[in-house]
Homo-oligomer: A and B are copies of this chain.
Amino acid sequence: MTVKVGINGYGTVGKRVADAVSQQDDMEIVGVAKRSPTYEAEMAVEKGFPFYAASDKYLDDFEEKEIPVEGMLNDLLEKADIIVDGTPKKAGYKPIYEKHGVKAIWQGGEDHKLTGLSFNSMANYDECFGADYVRVVSCNTTGLLRTLYPIHRDIGINSVQAVMVRRGADPWDTKRGPIDAITPVLNIPSHHGPDVQSVVPEINIQTTAVKVPTTIMHLHSVIVDLEKDVSTEDILDLWEKTPRIKFFNAFQGVDSTAKVMEWAKDRNNPRGDINEIAVWDDAVKVEDGRLYYYQAIHQESDIVPENIDAIRAMMEMEEDNIKSIHRTNENMGIE
């Protein structure tokens, strides 16, 4: 069985998940729905994705640009087994999906309560097995879970304190700032801690966050109070074995988020993305029972493979999360 996936919202997340689905051998894109007639619509058609109009507002423009429109969103919902919703926060499509009896995945901009299930491939694949509605947690929360969950599972965590240094806007987004300022999230602790707990309630985590004038990656400075006495090497070994974590260091010349991005471009990753969480192994340190580390998060792409795994779990295509993770990774070229 090849699962039929529809994409509603063909922006930063939608276009990446569409490509990732196409790379898999057990699922296919049956259509992408988009509102506006930008170049992305033309590219979707060039890639062979059946194109659906998400609203009737721009139908004339699609015609003027000779973009063949297969139908409206409703038509796509009839064809798809599952929808990946990449529309803006609070777009409110859930009742429509329910009406068409199609399963759906939302992204981290939505609240946990929309679905009651928040997903991370390593942490709670089983919990989402067969579910109709699932939220893949945000890029930052995914990043925290990637590195914290294996420690929680194998070593034990007393508490986590993380500071999220967040990019101000995505690279393509010229409207948003700041240009020259640091903006702290004044409502502390920030929402990222509870968001981690929406997947693994047992992790005791508090976070703060600041927004800075960069577009390319978030960076976290994390401190973990460990339950057991382990060494720096133990942590590095554990992460070495964990999928979707990638080590970098200054010895290689990778000493900033910019150099991580350069590495991803040089490796010829699609769109220059890096789906893995970047950890500087030369800055991982356990001291007096406390683990210190930095990690960098590619906000546009770390959640893409999680969406693929979520499809497999929800559609009951694969029972074993590790097998799904490896299948996704292999198909996407993730090491």
On A, residues with C-beta under 8 Å from B are 15, 36-40, 42-43, 161, 163, 165, 168-169, 171-184, 186-189, 206, 208, 210-217, 219, 221, 223, 249-259, 261-263, 265-268, 270-272, 280, 282-283, 285, 287, 290, 292, 294, 296
Contacts and interface: CB of A to CB of B under 8 A. Distances in A.
B265 A179 contact: no
B180 A216 contact: yes
Nearest to A250: B186
Given A175-B178, A183-B255, A184-B219, 8 more contacts: A39-B253, A173-B258, A174-B177, A178-B179, A182-B256, A183-B257, A183-B258, A206-B287
Given A188-B285, A271-B266, A182 B40 contact: no
Given A253-B36, A292-B189, A266 B15 contact: yes
B187 A283 contact: yes
A258 B180 contact: yes
Nearest to A40: B266
A257 B182 contact: yes
A120 to B, nearest CB: 24
A292 B177 contact: no
Nearest to A260: B181
Nearest to A283: B186
